[in-house]
Structure 1
Amino acid sequence: MTQILVIEDSKKQGHDLSIVLTFLGESSLTVARGHWRDEATAQGVNPDKLKLILVGHYKPSLMMSLLEELTDWHDGVPLVILGDQELPDFPDRISARIVATIPLPLSYQPMLDAMHKAQVYGEHYARLRDVGSVRDYNMFRSLVGNSTSVQRIRHFMSQVADTEVTVLITGESGTGKEVVARNLHANSTRASKPFVPINCGAIPPDLLESELFGHEKGAFTGAISTRVGRFELAQGGTLFLDEIGDMPLPMQVKLLRVIQEQSYERVGGTKTLQTDVRILAATHRNLEGMIDAGTFRQDLYYRINVFPIEMPSLRERASDIPFLLNELISRLENSKRGSVRFNSAAIRALGQYSWPGNVRELANLVERMAIMHPHGVVGVHDLPRQYQPEGIDLPQVIEEAAETIDAGPASVALNSAEDALAGDPAAIPNQQGNGNLLPLNGLDLKEYLGNLERSLIEQALDDSGGVVARAADRLNIRRTTLVEKMRKYDMQR
C-alpha cells in the first residue's frame, strides 16, 4: 500500500527519493506533476491512507497551482516541499498543510524530521476529525508530546478554542500555560485581532490598574500623557491575564466589574469605555486555597474558571522528554544558535529527574549543553550533576546507551558500548531492519547508500561466478539495469 506520494518530474530525483524512502521502510509512488492525479488514481492511491505528499522543486507559479490542487484533493494529508528555496506567501489553508521542507542534496536526518512532523500532523488531524472539529494544525505546533495528558489537553483545546468562554489555565511554572493561551487565540474567531498578555505578578500593585485600563494625562504624578491600557489594546481580541493569583484584592474587585459590565474608565478619567475582549487567565497558585485564606475573591474565581485546563508537570509526562528535546533542538538550529544531541543514556537520565522548572528548565538545559558541547553528543556524564542519576557507574551507562529511545533527531540509537563512549561515526551496521543505523556524528546518506549498493552488487556477482544475468536475478533487477550500475561504479564484468 502506497504510504507516500512523490510528485517529481526529474526521473533521477524521483529515483533517489525512492531509494531513500525504501531504505527507511516506506512504500512510495512517484508521479509527474502534469498528470499526478490520474496516475495516483490509476495506481489505487487512497489519500486517507497517505502519510504525506512530497512535492518536488518547482517555480512559484507552478508550485502554487499544484498545492491548491493537492489541498482540494484532500484536506488532511501533510505536505513536504523538496528544496529549501524561498517559498511564496501561500493562503492559510495551504501554508498550514506544509509541515517541513527538505534541503538538497538529500540526507537522512532532514527526511526523518519531515516524516516525524508529518506523523504528528496526521495524528492531530485525525484527533480533531474524531471530535467533529478540524482546525488549523498551528493549534498543536507548540504542544509537543504524545503522552495521555498532552492528548487530553489537545482535546480540551479543540472543544473550547472557537468559543467565547473564559478559560483558566492552571499548572506549575514553566509548564507552557502561555503556549496554550496563544494557541487558543490563534484558533479562535478572534485570531485576526490582537493577543495581549500581561503578567499580573510582575507589575507593582499601584501601577497594575493603569496597565490594565490606561490613564488620562495628569491622573497622577508622572502621567504626562494619556496612555492606552491592555483592555483597550486587546479590543476585539484576547487578553491573557498571566499569574492572576498574584493580583491584589482591590484590583480583583475592579476586574470583576469589568468582566460583568463589559465597560471601564481609565485612571483619572470619567468617560466610560466599552470593551470586547475574551479573557484567558493562568496561575500556578491554588486559587481555592487562596479563597479559603481570604486572598482571592470567590466571585472572581467563578467568573474566570468557566472552562479549566490543568497543565501537567514535566515529571508527570516524562515520556514526552525525547519529543521535547527534538523540538527544542530544532528551534535552536532554526534560530542559528547552535545544535547538540543527547544519547539514549542521557535521555534516560533526564527522564528520571524531577524537573522543578518543567519545560522551561529543560529548554535552559538544552541551550546550556549547546554552548558547552556545540554540535556534539551529550552523554550522561556530560550532564550537570543534578541531572545524573544517583549511584551511576560506567557499566550502567554502557548498557543503557546501547538501547534505542525513539525520539527523532534529538536522540541517537547506539549500537555498542564503544559507540556510547567514543561516538565512532564509522560504526555503522550493514543489516537492514536494525533500528540502530545512524551513527552519533551523522553520515552522508548518498555516499552510504552508494557503498551499500556497490557491496551488494559485488556479493551478487561473486555468488553468481561473475555471470551478470544470474547476479541480476539475485538482485531482482533487469540485466541492463545491473550493467548500468556496474558502469556507474566502474566495476569489471
Structure 2
Amino acid sequence: MNTKPTYKDLEKKIALLEKKIVELQGRKEAIQRSEERLKEAERIAKIGHWELDLVTNTLYWSDEIYRIFDSNPQEFGATYEAFLDAVHPEDRKAVDQAFKDSVKKKTGYDIVHRLFLKNGILKYVHEKCRTIYDADGKPLRSLGTVQDITHQKLEEHRFSGIIGRDPKMKDIFEMIREITDIDIPVLIQGESGTGKELVARAIHNEGPRVHKAFVPVNCGALPEGLLESELFGHVKGSFTGALRDRKGRFEMADGGTLFLDEIGDLPKVMQAKLLRVLQEGKFERVGDEKTISVDVRIISAANRDLKHEVEKGNFRDDLYYRISVVPIHMPPLRKRKNDIPLLVNNFLKKAAYKERQTKNISESALSVMIDYAWPGNVRELQSAIHYALIKSRGKIIQPAHLPMELRTQKSNQLSRGPSLRLDLKIVKEALARSGGNKAKAARYLGVGRATLYRFLKNFPDIDSNIYESE
C-alpha cells in the first residue's frame, strides 16, 4: 500500500529537481560558451565548417561560411547546387568533379578554388572534405571546412607593389629578383600606362640601394634648354635665372637609383652627354669646371621601340646598348586580361578603405571590362573604376556605370559573325567566359551551336569538361 509523500519528501524532490535544473543550465551555458569560442576561433582563422546529408541533400553551414559567402542564413537555401553557383565559373567543373571523385573513391579532397559572389566580390578559398559511409559502403554524409585565403592568394599575385598572375608578369617578377643585386643598367619598354615606373621602383626597393634615393625624371616633359641643368645641375650665374647653385638629378640620386623615363625623347646633344656620364660616372654642372663623381644605378624607360628608333637614326646606337644591358618588356593590359579581375579588386579595395565602405562590381560589368581593349592600359583601368564608383553611388557597379567607350568599344572582343574562323585559343576563351556553357560560348563566338559542336569533336579533352545548355 503506497503512502502519500510527506511535505518533507516533496521538499527533497523539489530540491533535487532544482539542483538538476541548475546542473543542466550550467551544462547548457558551458555548451554555449564552447560554441561561442568555436565561432570566434572560426572568425579569427576565417575557417568555417559544413556538413552535407547525401541522402536528403541538406547542407549545413556554420556562421563563418555564411560570412565567407556573404550570404544571409534566412535568405540562402543551403544546398550543394547553391554552393556550386557561388563557385567561379572557370573553377566550377573542377570543384564538382573533385567532390564526386572523393565520394566515389573514398579519398576526400583538399583543393583551392575561387568564388565569384553575386555582389561582385572575387574570393579564394581552401576547402577540405571527407565522407562518412555506412556498413555497406553507402555514403551518408560529407563533412568539410572552407578557409578564406583571399589575402594570401592576392599577396602571391603581388610583387613589390605590382599586381599580376599572368605568366608574362611572373617572368618579370623573376627577372627583377635576378637583377636587383647586380648593378647593371635596365631598359623597361612598353606602352604608356603599363607600369614601367612601378617596375623601376621594384628593382630599386628590392635591391641594396633601397635606403638611398629613387629619383625619377621625365625626359619628355622638360624643355630642351632645361634638360642639362635638370640632370647635371648648375652653378649660380651660369645662365639667366640661375640665382643659386643647384644640384642636378644625378647628384640627388648618388648612392641610389636614377630613373630616366621616356629616354627616347632626349635630343641627340643630350644623348651624347648622357653617354659620357654613363661611361665615366663623372660630369660637370652647367657653368662649372669642377668634375663631380657619382655612384648611380641607371634604369631607363621608353614607350616606343628604341631599337627601331636607332634604325631610324633618332637614337644613338652606342647609348642604346649602354642602357639596355637588361631589357624588360611590359605587356599591355589587353595581353594579360586574366589580371584584370585582380586589378579591379585592388582598386575597389583601395576605394573602400578610403571611403570606409564596401565597393563591389557585378559579373556583367567585369565581363565588359575584360572584353575591352584598354589602349590606356592599367592607368585607364584605374580611371574607369573611379568613374564607375562615382556613377554607381555606392551600389554594385553595373555595365551602365562604366565609361561610354567601354560599352561601345568592339576592338579586341571576340568577333561576332558567320565569317569567323574558329581556332582553339578563341574557343577556349569563349568557353572560359561562359563557364563551360556551349550555348553561351557559341553566342559569344557568333556561330551556331552546330558549328561549335563540330569544332569541339576535334578536341575531346576540352569537350569532356563542358556542358550543354539552352
- Per the TM superposition, whether the score is higher than 0.5 is yes
Q: CA deviation at 1:341?
A: 2.0
**1:360-413 alpha-carbon deviations (Å, 9 max, x no partner):** 000001111111213211112332232126799xxxxxxx9x9789xxxxxxxx
Equivalent pairs, count: 292
**1:198-233 alpha-carbon deviations (Å, 9 max, x no partner):** 000000011011010000000000000111110000
> Alignment partner of 1:375: what SS?
coil
Q: Structure 2 residue aligned with 1:198, among 217, 224, 238? A: 217
Q: Structure 2 residue aligned with 1:382, among 391, 401, 405? A: 401
Residue 167 (str. 1) matches residue 177 (str. 2): no
**1:10-43 alpha-carbon deviations (Å, 9 max, x no partner):** 9945532326744378xxxxxxxxxxxxxxxxxx
Contact 2:47 2:148 in 1 (8 A): no
Q: CA deviation at 1:115?
A: 2.5
Partners of 1:386 and 1:17 in 2: how far apart?
A: 47
Match of 2:39 in 1: 15
- Percent of pairs with identical residues: 42
Q: CA deviation at 1:332?
A: 2.0
Change in 2 beyond 3 A, CA 1:148/1:184 = same
* 1:273-312 superposed matches below 5 A: 273-312=292-331
**1:298-356 alpha-carbon deviations (Å, 9 max, x no partner):** 00000000001100000001111000001111222333387632111111111111100
Contact 2:347 2:382 in 1 (8 A): yes
* 1:244-393 superposed matches below 5 A: 244-336=263-355, 340-388=359-407
Q: TM-score, normalised by structure 1?
A: 0.55
Match of 1:5 in 2: none
Structure 2, gaps ≥5 residues long: 1-33, 51-120, 126-146, 414-430, 437-470
> Alignment partner of 2:198: what SS?
helix
**1:249-275 alpha-carbon deviations (Å, 9 max, x no partner):** 100000000000000000001110001
Residue 214 (str. 1) matches residue 233 (str. 2): yes
Match of 1:118 in 2: 152
Change in 2 beyond 3 A, CA 1:267/1:383 = same
Partners of 1:281 and 1:221 in 2: how far apart?
A: 30
> Alignment partner of 2:240: what SS?
coil
Contact 1:340 1:369 in 2 (8 A): no
Q: Which amino acid counterpart does residue 41 of structure 2 have in structure 1?
A: L
Change in 2 beyond 3 A, CA 1:176/1:310 = same
> Alignment partner of 1:341: what SS?
coil
Structure 1, gaps ≥5 residues long: 1-9, 26-107, 125-138, 393-399, 406-493
Q: TM-score, normalised by structure 2?
A: 0.57
Contact 1:344 1:404 in 2 (8 A): no
Contact 1:172 1:284 in 2 (8 A): yes
Partners of 2:376 and 2:224 in 1: how far apart?
A: 26
Q: Which amino acid counterpart does residue 116 of structure 1 have in structure 2?
A: T
Contact 1:171 1:284 in 2 (8 A): yes
Q: Structure 2 residue aligned with 1:158, among 177, 180, 201? A: 177
Change in 2 beyond 3 A, CA 1:152/1:271 = same
Q: Structure 2 residue aligned with 1:234, among 246, 250, 253? A: 253
Q: CA deviation at 1:295?
A: 1.0
Partners of 1:281 and 1:342 in 2: how far apart?
A: 37
Partners of 1:173 and 1:367 in 2: how far apart?
A: 19
Q: CA deviation at 1:141?
A: 4.0
Contact 1:243 1:284 in 2 (8 A): yes
**1:156-195 alpha-carbon deviations (Å, 9 max, x no partner):** 1111122101110000000000000001100111001000
> Alignment partner of 1:23: what SS?
strand
Partners of 2:407 and 2:123 in 1: how far apart?
A: 30
Q: CA deviation at 1:114?
A: 7.6
Contact 1:216 1:223 in 2 (8 A): yes
Q: 333-342 or 108-117: which moved more?
A: 108-117
* 1:481-492 superposed matches below 5 A: none
**1:84-139 alpha-carbon deviations (Å, 9 max, x no partner):** xxxxxxxxxxxxxxxxxxxxxxxx99998983221244x47xxxxxxxxxxxxxx8
Q: Larger Rg: 1 or 2?
A: 2
Partners of 1:359 and 1:390 in 2: how far apart?
A: 17
Contact 1:338 1:371 in 2 (8 A): no
